[in-house]
């Protein structure tokens, strides 16, 4: 297993081998349609060691961290945590922040709660 | 200190009741769930059969840890043997601690015949714990030393 | 009864009413919210990585402060509630995180998750009781059909937050009943509003909120209540035809208790 | 001094691949008492056993150590072999160098060293072994079956047909069990009642079968061949001998709002009731918790209308005690509660139902008289979604880790029956895997797809959203299409996991039968003794041992019956000679041992004790070997060391400890 795959397992604390490919995560995911790699496929990418595709996937930035997949996964695999780990690899190693500071002013709107910015920063940037 | 490749290898005696834990150990075996070879199992009909004398003897003869495994509470093949074992061992272990045999060297665990995985996990944990405590020097009978 | 109170960033700014109404209602209900001095932002999202420590320390500080005061800690914002409860669970049950966080903190006495974290609603349910609340209501919202919107952060993961049944919660429905209105139960009340995604993918958030409004209005809701400033923002930004007004639950609480005008 | 032979088994490569068997034989040759040591490929084979017999004779052996697999596997084999060779079978000890050594270690040196130590311990023990004689105990030629479902009924009929009396204890007012709730059965679509009812009648009419319905086992004592069981016969409030089964009481009972357990609470029953029309015995019971008379003292309608004068409000629970030689557990299953699976909206919508509820709806005697109707509004559903594996194959806190085994087939059955009877109804099945091993099973499932055009979708359902118009939006995934889909349904059917009857814990404890982590009873050997409990005299029938369908249950019920018959056919049983023994010289009659003995096997008598410096008559402990089961609790608690356990004596166990710690 590659270092990245190892790291994903370590950061997430998830064991992809427990997955039985039932699709419960993809059935629950509110962002399914916007994702290129679907939640139930995350596991296969980690097991196949194809972290490259995973970190370049749009899905990383479409996950809402709503934990529906985590709550409902019958095998305790927690795909949501896997995708978050992949996101962190991107942010930590490759500086591939999804949100640049200079983008912000134009995204702002006067009603926007601080919480949104804080959360987005946490999720999108190192 | 018994060392293999520079690593301390403890002597561990496991008393396993014939009905549950011995079967659990068999299941661990047939499921190929490995645990350190330091553990040697003695079959007893019931955890309630284990006389405190056996444990003292083991420590005297240089054992570094002793574990007693029986049926889960309520599941004893002889109804109540494991309850007696639990009470007896609680007393014995606190006395042993008093004379310097650390609590980590003694343990009572319930393992059913269906719990091969638990047997393995218990043994792995116990061996690690005993290893971290090092050799038992407190009760060793000097006459038995080389 | 006094509680350590962790308001969180948004309640100091964009969601001041959530905070104001809560404080006034609390006094009326017979407990006091003592704001934790120098609290720091929880970060809005719980850091999922099992090796993340620094981002959890702000929560640990607040939790430890409450422990020192010998008080339970109350939050109002769903996100703060989520982060604080989960960090608290880590401190209690995840040895590695707990040890490392304590190493950073260098407290006189290590913090091991002793503080009890409560959502404002949990205090009403578990300490005061909905029956008691009902008795204190002076302006019952009779006839109003209200949908509760929980979102994700208050409920999941159910095993750690232990807030309510994560798939079929009832705490807000009981609350709605207690203030004299009629709860409208709809399945999507625990589906995500889009969260922070609305910053960069507005259409995604539009799609999520539409699903929620479609479902709750279909079941007959006339207004929604929420505990989360972010949920409220996203719902308010919705362009769905089925859109209905969204309030913080504290606003309705203050109204029912007759303290809204004091705020 | 013993003359011991050590026989090291290769078990093919099972042992020999990781343990240097030759070295083991070589190293133990010089242990005290050992006069012979050899290794052989398969010690348990006929050739292997003959080698042991020949060596015993040739070298005049008095004891045998076999280093092989677990004694739980082949101890009996080698004891018989010793007996053939002319030495006492209890002079054999097994060193378990397979399960406890070769199978779990990889390093040859390490495994060999451990094997030698285990062999030394066994040798040390044999050095102290003494010949033991098995005793005999009589067999009560009567069997008890706990549970009156198809498993219990079949076992009882088979035992009775062999000429032995059998009692069935059934908790509910009627025998029949789960099978009586079913509509049709797969894979042949027989009507369940049509094949079950005759069996129920046969059981009740059989001269050798006694039914104790509305009864529960309260206490069990004794041991194989000689169990004594207390059975609580709950007060029926109806005299079984007088009741004619006319049913007038049930039609007149004013309390009609009690949820019907038999119909899975889909409709109601009266307070005086039989669970279903074909109940056996066809005698109602009064549900005292819901009966007006018992609650308020007013009413008494049933008593007034009963022409036979059978209603008896004064009836009390009765406890009877019976003796049995064997006990069969056939307590069956229930479906898990679905309160942790609210994403399927089971508790939010009346039209989300379990498969067992659908069985009742489809059943002509059920709450809708067999018409497929929605529970909420009585309308015929046009779109039905089935969801598989609800709570099965879960290793989280919500469900069960095992496959419930029957759901794939009954769902195919339901889908097929619905499409057959209501061809304009669309049926969608969300599945993870379709598991259909069994004769004509896969063909059956394929028929559902090919002939009845049932829409099978590989994937799970994430959420069921009830809508204002009464329909349900089922959001799932089609994994093969890689699409999230929403199916609008009128009815959703959940294949909830099955779990053992919740009473099984209590029953297993009474029987001292072991139970696994999922509350299924453990078999004595998973492959070779699947219908026997490790506790002698206890047998397993049906789902109590693990999930299974009707054909499998019936086969297993028959197998359990055969084992029972084999036991009851014996006039005497050999008893375990490893019993406790008291040394009167050391015994001071303190009673500690009698207090811990779970079998009451220890009594005290005045004996003339003679020994070095002793010559007096005093009170000493005496063991009744017929009652003693050999647990050794007495010997561990004896303060003076007088009480010892033969076969596991203090000296023997200490010698093992010494050998290991050497």
Quickly list DSSP for B57-110. Answer: HHHHTT-SEEEEEEPPTT--TTSSHHHHHHHHHHHHHHHHHHTT--GGGEEEEE
Q: pLDDT tens digits for C202-230?
A: 899 999 999 999 999 999 999 999 999 99
* D4-134: CATH architecture: 3-Layer(aba) Sandwich (3.40)
Ordered structural domains, chain A, with CATH: 3-95 (1.10.1060.10), 98-126 (no CATH)
Across B47-68, average pLDDT: 95
Closest partner residue to A74 (CB to CB) among D394, D458, D484 is D394
Cα distances (angstroms) measured from residue A64 to each of A71, A114, D443, D462:
14, 17, 44, 16
Cβ–Cβ below 8 Å for C218 and D348: no
Q: Residue D502, preceding bond cis, omega within 30 degrees?
A: no
CATH code assigned at B46: 3.40.50
Work out the pLDDT band at B1, boundaries 50, 70, 90: low
Cβ–Cβ below 8 Å for A24 and D399: no
pLDDT exceeds cutoff 60 at D131: yes
pLDDT exceeds cutoff 60 at D460: yes
Work out the pLDDT band at C262, boundaries 50, 70, 90: confident
Quickly count: other Cβ atoms within 10 Å of residue D486's Cβ: 11
Cβ–Cβ below 8 Å for D395 and A18: yes
Share of chain D above pLDDT 70, in %: 100
B11 touching D (Cβ < 8 Å): yes
C139 in the same domain as C94: no
Enumerate residues 378 to 417 of chain D having a beta carbon within 8 A of any beta carbon in chain A.
389, 393-396, 398-399
Q: Please, which residues have CB within 8 angstroms of residue D395's CB and are 6 or more apart in sequence?
A: A18, A74, A75, A76, D401
Across C175-197, average pLDDT: 95
Query: Number of CB pairs < 8 Å for C and D?
Result: 29
Higher-confidence residue of C205 and A91: namely: C205
- HSE of D495 in the Cβ direction (CA atoms, 13 Å)? 27
pLDDT exceeds cutoff 80 at B2: no
Residue that finishes a domain, picked among C100, C120, C140: C120
Across A48-60, average pLDDT: 91
Which residues from chain C sit within 8 angstroms of residue A124, using beta carbons? Answer: 196, 200
Rounded CA separation D150/D195 (Å): 10
C55 in the same domain as C12: yes
Query: Number of CB pairs < 8 Å for A and D?
Result: 65
Q: pLDDT tens digits for D523-537?
A: 988 888 999 998 899
Exposure pattern of C110-136 as b/e (b: 16+ CB <10 Å)? ebebebbbbbbbbbbbeebebeebeeb
Cα distances (angstroms) measured from residue D239 to each of B18, D174, D289:
48, 15, 19
Phi, psi of B78 (to 5 degrees): -110, 30
Residue B143: its pLDDT value, please?
Answer: 67
Distance from CA of C61 to the nearest CA of A (A): 18
DSSP designation for D266 = S
End-to-end C-alpha distance for chain A, whole angstroms = 25
Higher-confidence residue of D287 and D612: namely: D287
Distance from CA of D334 to the nearest CA of C (A): 23
Residue that finishes a domain, picked among C120, C147, C177: C120
Q: What is the mean pLDDT of chain C?
A: 93
Cβ–Cβ below 8 Å for C199 and A123: no
Work out the pLDDT band at C83, boundaries 50, 70, 90: very high
3-state class (DSSP) for residue C164: coil
Which residues from chain D sit within 8 angstroms of residue B115, using beta carbons? Answer: 517
Cβ–Cβ below 8 Å for C220 and D468: yes
C200 in the same domain as C109: no
Work out the pLDDT band at C200, boundaries 50, 70, 90: confident
Q: What is the mean pLDDT of chain B?
A: 91
DSSP designation for D380 = P
Strand D352-354's sheet: what is its strand order? D352-354, D491-496, D383-390, D426-431, D455-458
CATH code assigned at C202: 3.40.50.11810
Q: pLDDT tens digits for D384-416?
A: 999 999 999 998 889 999 999 999 999 999 999
Residues of chain D with a CB closer than 8 angstroms to some CB in chain C: 339-343, 345, 347-348, 397, 463-468
Instruction: Give the structural domain span for C67.
Output: 2-120
Q: pLDDT tens digits for D188-215?
A: 999 999 999 999 999 999 999 999 999 9
* CATH 3.30.70.3270 placement within chain D: 580-645
Q: Does the pTM of the predicted model rise above 0.80?
A: yes
Class (C level, CATH) for D143-234+317-332+501-568: alpha beta
C79 in the same domain as C38: yes
Rounded CA separation D477/A25 (Å): 9
C58 touching D (Cβ < 8 Å): no
Q: What is the mean pLDDT of chain A?
A: 87
Hey, what CATH topology would domain D580-645 get? Answer: Alpha-Beta Plaits (3.30.70)
Q: pLDDT tens digits for B62-73?
A: 999 999 999 998
Residue C201: its pLDDT value, please?
Answer: 87
- Closest chain D residue to B80 measured between Cα atoms? D598
Which residues from chain D sit within 8 angstroms of residue B49, using beta carbons? Answer: 631-633, 635-636, 645, 648
Residue D614: its pLDDT value, please?
Answer: 84
Instruction: Give the structural domain span for B86.
Output: 3-144
Q: pLDDT tens digits for D229-277?
A: 999 999 999 999 999 999 999 999 999 999 999 999 999 999 999 999 9
Number of domains comprising chain C: 2
**Which helix H or strand E contains D609, and what residues bound it?**
strand D602-611
Mutate to test the interface with C, among D342, D461, D488 (most CBs of C within 10 A): D342
Rounded CA separation B46/D416 (Å): 53
- Closest chain D residue to A37 measured between Cα atoms? D482
* D334-499: CATH architecture: 3-Layer(bba) Sandwich (3.50)
Which residues from chain C sit within 8 angstroms of residue A6, using beta carbons? Answer: none
Cβ–Cβ below 8 Å for D342 and C167: yes
| Subunits close to D (at least 3 CB pairs below 8 A) | A, B, C
Across D551-573, average pLDDT: 97
Chain-centre distance of CA C135, in angstroms?
24
CATH code assigned at C103: 1.20.1050.140
Across B10-30, average pLDDT: 95
Residue C212: its pLDDT value, please?
Answer: 96
Residues of chain C with a CB closer than 8 angstroms to some CB in chain A: 8-10, 12-15, 41, 43-45, 47-51, 55, 77, 79, 152, 155-158, 166-167, 191-192, 194-201, 204, 208, 211, 229-230, 232-233, 236-237
Residue C49: its pLDDT value, please?
Answer: 78
Cα distances (angstroms) measured from residue A3 to each of A6, A49, A56, D313:
5, 9, 17, 76
Residue B139: its pLDDT value, please?
Answer: 79
Residue that finishes a domain, picked among C120, C149, C184: C120
Across D309-334, average pLDDT: 97
Rounded CA separation D482/D476 (Å): 11
Number of domains comprising chain B: 1
C160 in the same domain as C97: no
pLDDT exceeds cutoff 70 at A95: no
């Amino acid at each position: 297993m590659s270092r990245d795959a190892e790291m994903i397992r370590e950061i997430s604390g998830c064991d992809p081998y427990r997955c039985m490919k039932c699709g419960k995560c993809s059935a629950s995911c509110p962002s399914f349609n916007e994702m290129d790699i679907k939640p139930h496929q995350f596991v296969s990418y980690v097991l196949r060691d194809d972290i490259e595709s995973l970190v370049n996937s749009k899905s990383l930035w479409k996950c809402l961290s709503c934990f529906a997949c985590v709550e409902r996964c019958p095998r305790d695999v927690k795909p949501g945590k896997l995708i978050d780990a992949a996101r962190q690899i991107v942010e930590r190693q490759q500086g591939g922040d999804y949100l640049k500071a200079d983008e912000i002013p134009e995204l702002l709107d006067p009603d926007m709660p601080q919480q949104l910015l804080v959360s987005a920063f946490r999720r999108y940037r190192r | 200190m018994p060392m293999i490749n520079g690593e301390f290898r403890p002597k561990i005696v496991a008393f396993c009741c014939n009905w549950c834990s011995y079967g659990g150990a068999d299941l661990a075996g047939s499921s190929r769930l490995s645990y350190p070879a330091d553990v040697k199992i003695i079959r007893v009909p019931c955890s309630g059969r284990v006389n405190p004398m056996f444990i003292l003897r083991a420590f005297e003869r240089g054992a570094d840890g002793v574990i007693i495994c029986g049926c889960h509470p309520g599941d004893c093949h002889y109804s109540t043997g494991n309850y007696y074992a639990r009470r007896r061992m609680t007393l014995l272990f606190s006395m042993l601690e008093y004379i310097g045999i650390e609590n980590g060297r003694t343990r009572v665990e319930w393992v059913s015949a269906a719990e091969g995985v638990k047997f393995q996990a218990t043994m792995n944990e116990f061996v690690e714990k005993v290893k971290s405590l090092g050799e038992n020097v407190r009760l060793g009978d000097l006459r038995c030393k080389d | 009864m006094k509680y350590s109170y962790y308001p969180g960033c948004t309640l100091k700014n964009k969601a001041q009413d959530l905070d104001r109404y809560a404080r006034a209602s609390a006094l009326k209900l017979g407990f006091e919210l003592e704001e934790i001095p120098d609290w720091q932002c929880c970060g809005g999202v719980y850091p999922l990585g099992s090796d993340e420590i620094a981002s959890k320390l702000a929560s640990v500080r607040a939790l430890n402060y409450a422990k020192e005061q010998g008080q339970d800690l109350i939050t109002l914002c769903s996100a703060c509630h989520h982060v604080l409860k989960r960090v608290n669970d880590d401190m209690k049950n995840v040895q590695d995180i707990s040890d490392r966080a304590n190493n950073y903190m260098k407290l006189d006495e290590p913090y091991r998750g002793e503080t009890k974290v409560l959502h404002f609603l949990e205090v009403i349910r578990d300490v005061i009781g909905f029956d008691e609340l009902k008795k204190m209501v002076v302006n019952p919202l009779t006839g109003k059909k209200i949908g509760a919107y929980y979102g994700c952060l208050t409920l999941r993961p159910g095993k750690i937050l232990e807030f309510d049944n994560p798939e079929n919660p009832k705490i807000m429905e009981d609350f709605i009943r207690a203030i004299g209105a009629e709860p409208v139960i709809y399945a999507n009340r625990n589906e995500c509003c889009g969260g922070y995604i609305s910053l960069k993918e507005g259409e995604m958030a539009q799609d999520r909120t539409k699903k929620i409004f479609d479902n709750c209005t279909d079941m007959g809701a006339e207004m929604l209540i929420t505990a989360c400033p972010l949920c409220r923002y996203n719902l308010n930004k919705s362009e769905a035809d089925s859109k209905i007004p969204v309030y913080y639950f504290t606003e309705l609480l203050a109204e029912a208790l007759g303290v809204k005008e004091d705020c | 001094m013993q003359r011991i032979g050590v026989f090291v088994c290769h078990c093919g490569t099972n042992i020999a691949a990781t343990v240097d068997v030759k070295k083991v034989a070589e190293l133990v040759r010089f242990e005290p008492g050992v006069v012979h040591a050899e290794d052989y490929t398969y010690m348990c084979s006929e050739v292997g056993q003959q080698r042991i017999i020949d060596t015993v004779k040739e070298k005049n052996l008095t004891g045998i150590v076999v280093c092989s697999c677990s004694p739980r596997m082949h101890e009996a084999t080698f004891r018989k072999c010793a007996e053939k060779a002319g030495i006492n079978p209890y002079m054999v000890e097994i060193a378990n160098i397979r399960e406890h050594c070769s199978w779990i270690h990889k390093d040859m040196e390490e495994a060999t060293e451990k094997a030698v130590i285990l062999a030394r311990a066994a040798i040390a023990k044999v050095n102290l072994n003494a010949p033991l004689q098995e005793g005999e105990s009589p067999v009560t030629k009567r069997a008890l079956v706990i549970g009156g479902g198809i498993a219990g009924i079949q076992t009882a009929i088979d035992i009775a047909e062999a000429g032995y009396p059998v009692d069935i204890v059934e908790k509910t007012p009627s025998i029949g069990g789960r099978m009586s709730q079913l509509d049709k059965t797969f894979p042949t679509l027989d009507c369940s009642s049509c094949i079950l009812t005759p069996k129920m009648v046969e059981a009740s009419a059989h001269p050798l079968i006694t039914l104790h319905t509305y009864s529960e086992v309260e206490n069990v004592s004794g041991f194989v061949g000689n169990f004594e069981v207390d059975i609580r016969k709950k007060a029926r409030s109806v005299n079984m001998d007088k009741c004619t089964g006319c049913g007038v009481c049930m039609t007149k009972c004013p309390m009609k709002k009690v949820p019907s357990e038999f119909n899975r609470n889909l409709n109601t029953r009266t307070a005086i009731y039989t669970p279903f029309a074909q109940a056996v015995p066809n005698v109602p019971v009064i549900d005292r918790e819901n009966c007006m008379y018992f609650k308020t003292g007013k009413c008494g309608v049933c008593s007034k209308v009963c022409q036979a004068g059978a209603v008896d409000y004064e009836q009390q629970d009765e406890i009877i005690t019976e003796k049995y030689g064997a006990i069969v557990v056939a307590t069956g299953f229930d479906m898990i509660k679905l309160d942790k699976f609210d994403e399927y909206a089971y508790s939010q919508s009346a039209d989300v139902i379990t498969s067992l509820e659908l069985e009742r709806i489809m059943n002509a005697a059920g709450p809708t008289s067999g018409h497929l109707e929605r529970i909420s509004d009585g309308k015929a559903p046009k779109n039905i979604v089935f969801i598989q594996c609800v709570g099965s194959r879960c290793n989280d806190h919500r469900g069960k880790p095992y496959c419930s085994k029957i759901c794939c087939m009954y769902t195919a059955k339901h889908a097929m029956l619905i499409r057959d009877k209501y061809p304009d109804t669309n049926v969608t099945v969300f599945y993870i895997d379709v598991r259909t091993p069994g004769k004509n099973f896969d063909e059956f499932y394929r028929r559902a797809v090919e002939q009845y055009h049932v829409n099978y979708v590989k994937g799970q359902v994430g959420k069921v959203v009830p809508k204002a118009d009464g329909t349900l939006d089922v959001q799932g995934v089609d994994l093969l299409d890689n699409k999230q889909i929403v199916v609008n349904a009128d009815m959703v059917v959940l294949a909830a996991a099955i779990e053992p009857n919740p009473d099984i814990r209590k029953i297993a404890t009474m029987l001292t039968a072991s139970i696994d982590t999922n509350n299924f009873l453990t078999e004595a050997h998973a492959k070779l003794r699947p219908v026997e409990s490790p506790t002698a005299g206890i047998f397993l029938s049906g789902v109590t041992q693990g999930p299974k369908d009707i054909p499998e249950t019936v086969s297993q019920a028959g197998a359990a019956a055969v084992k029972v018959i084999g036991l009851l056919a014996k006039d005497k049983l050999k008893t375990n000679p490893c019993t406790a023994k008291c040394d009167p010289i050391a015994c001071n009659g303190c009673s500690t041992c009698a207090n811990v003995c779970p079998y009451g096997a220890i009594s005290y008598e005045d004996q003339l004790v003679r020994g070095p410096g002793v010559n007096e008559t005093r009170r000493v402990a005496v063991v009744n070997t017929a009652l003693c089961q050999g647990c050794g609790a007495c010997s561990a608690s004896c303060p003076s060391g007088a009480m010892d356990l033969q076969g596991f004596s203090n000296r023997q166990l200490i010698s093992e400890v010494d050998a290991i710690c050497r």
